[in-house]
Amino acid sequence: MMNDTLTSDVIGRRVAVNGEHATVRFSGIVPPVAGLWLGVEWDNPERGKHDGSHEGTVYFKCRHPTGGSFIRPNKVNFGVDFLTAVKNRYVLEDGPEEDVKEQIVIIGNKPVETIGFDSIIKQQSQLSKLQEISLRNCAVNCAGDRGTIAKACPNIRKADLSRNLLSSWDEVLDIADQLKHLEVLNLSENKLRFPSGSPSRTGTFPALKVLVLNRTGITWAEVLRCASGWPVLKELYLKSNDLFISERPADVLQTVKLLDLSSNQLIDENQLLLIAYLPRLEQLILSDIGISSIHFPDAGTGHKTSMFPSLQYLVVNDNQISQWLFINELDKLQSLHALSCIRNPLTEGSKEAKTTRQLIIAKIGQLKTLNKCEILPEERRGAELDYRKAFGNEWKKAGGHQDPDKNRPHEEFLEAHPRYQLLCLKYGAPEDGELQTQQPFLLKNRLLTLKIKYPNQVDQRVLEKQLPDSMTIQKVKGLLARLLKVPVSELLLSYESPKMPGREIELENDQQSLQFYSVESGDCLLVRW
């Protein structure tokens, strides 16, 4: 390796060159060409030409064989301090008339001429009022002179410093030290060096609630070391950092409600168990981490886990989930109400999307939202009834029986269908007749034989009609309107089922089908106007 002899303080600095970002790895002479060169490692390795070597001599090292370049210093932008960037972005320049405006101010007994005095006061006023700033891609590299940020803009609460030229966590601390009201900070796409030991400064972020560290190169150990400085943090975003969860958080991250670990492909199910006891964690985002299985070892079939006690919303989009056992495990989470699991082999296969949705709803009992779509009570009832029928024959073969005293399905069935027995208690065990004729989840038309009654019309006789289960409520109303010679707009429909005596279910959405409301042969439509 060549020894760096000139301006060694630039080593490690972040720089911009024609919109591309890089880190300085070398400063010095590169024979045979005279003059000073900077050796840089590009964030985008396709931008470079070599690995830091020239004519057999290694000047610096790169992670990628084409990640390096030599550049003249005058081609490089080393960036600006925080306050300069704020002024460039937010201070309104005065017009030429105001720039030359003169004022006579009496200081002591002497009149003193001032030029642009109003302009300075206006600038100070503008900056001190700032509460939200976005300095994304503004080449910010440091805090600047000590105390200047606190003096000029002390009221900043939200700061976007993503894709800048900050090179170390210490530089971030120098800025944050002066912004005591800071609640939201985005540092994404800054390649930061983090402290290797315990942080020397604590109490730097007394009000910080949201911290975004996507694509910063932070490790899990560094997260835990720095986290002692985030005593009230609610949301932490750590996307695309090649994270490996190496240890349990001890006395840190205890206030965090949302944790985003997306696009960290090294994370597996065992590592997730290390964060399973964060007491306030309500939202966990695990998109694109490559996960295919999950298991909560403390809870057997049909029991709730003590892990992730507060978790309400789980996102597992863009993964390798292909087994229903994954969904079965999620029913063990005691607080889970919302799930997003799109673009997985399980949900993207040849099956109908509606079928997959029904199965997930039936398998996770307390789910209220699936893939950002609310689960209405009618949809849950339909999904659970269809599920109960779909696997009824399998249940019988496994030892299931209508007689509760003889109902002992074997362990293998219960593991594959942990909620099945519960659904039998809720709706009754499936009858033999149902299982013979039922073809669940097929969306082709099935004819339903329905009775039609008119509770408010004593003189109308009860009709019996055969209607396809795919028929929309709107079309049913159209048919009845013609039969009864009553305007469609005046008709109100509901139905009752012998399986749920005493309960009447409204058919209130005209665009939905009879199947959506789980109307079955033998049920009775109630028509009012």
Listed residue (295, 300, 359, 357) closest to 325, CA to CA: 295
Break the chain down into helix, strand, coil percent, rounded to 5.
25, 20, 50
What's CA 28's distance to the chain center, in Å?
45
Fold match between domain 13-75 and domain 80-93+117-340: no
The domain 447-528 is placed in CATH, from the list 2.30.30.30, 3.10.20.90, 3.90.1300.10, 3.40.50.2300, at 3.10.20.90
State pLDDT tens for residues 28-61.
Answer: 989 888 889 999 999 998 888 899 988 889 999 9
Contacts (Cβ under 8 Å, ≥6 apart) of 304: 332, 333, 334
Assign 463 a pLDDT band (cuts: 50, 70, 90).
confident
As a whole number of angstroms, the distance between CA 79 and CA 13 comes to 10
Furthest-apart CA pair in the chain: how many Å? Answer: 108
* Residue 393, helix vs strand vs coil: helix
Which class does domain 80-93+117-340 fall in?
alpha beta
If you write DSSP's letter for every residue of 269-324 in order, what string do you get? Answer: HHHHGGGTT-TT--EEE-TTS-------TT--TT---SSSTT--EEE--SS----H
Instruction: Dump pLDDT digits (tens) for 149-201.
Output: 999 999 999 999 999 999 999 999 999 999 999 999 999 999 999 987 766 66
Quick: pLDDT tens for 55-78: 889 999 998 898 999 999 988 989
- Candidates 1.10.3720.10, 2.30.30.190, 2.60.40.10, 3.40.470.10; CATH matching 13-75: 2.30.30.190
Cα pseudo-dihedral 16, 19, 20, 24, rounded to 10: -10
- Nearest Cα to 339, choosing from 307, 308, 364, 315? 315
Q: What is the tens place of the pLDDT at every residue in 82-125?
A: 999 999 998 765 444 444 445 555 445 555 454 444 555 566 66
Query: What is the C-alpha separation between 259 and 269, in angstroms, rounded?
Result: 16
Question: Which stretches does DSSP call E strand in 110-206?
Answer: 110-115, 132-134, 140-142, 158-160, 184-186
**CA atoms of 43 and 188, how far apart (whole Å):** 13
Q: SS3 of 493, please?
A: strand
Q: Let me know: does 143 contact 169? Beta carbons within 8 Å.
A: no
| pLDDT for residue 115 | 45
Instruction: Compute CA 470 distance to the chain's CA centroid, rounded to the nearest angstrom.
Output: 35
Residue extents of the structural domains in the chain? 13-75, 80-93+117-340, 379-434, 447-528
Residue 8's pLDDT band (cuts 50, 70, 90): low
Which among 132, 40, 48 is positioned nearest to 90, based on CA atoms?
A: 132
CA-wise closest residue to 264 among 245, 283, 289: 289
| DSSP per-residue codes, 74-128 | GG-B--EEHHHHHHHHHPPPPPHHHHT-EEEEEETTEEEEEESHHHHHHHHHHHH
Q: In what order do the strands lie in the sheet with 33-42?
A: 14-17, 20-30, 33-42, 68-71
For the whole model, what pTM was predicted?
0.74
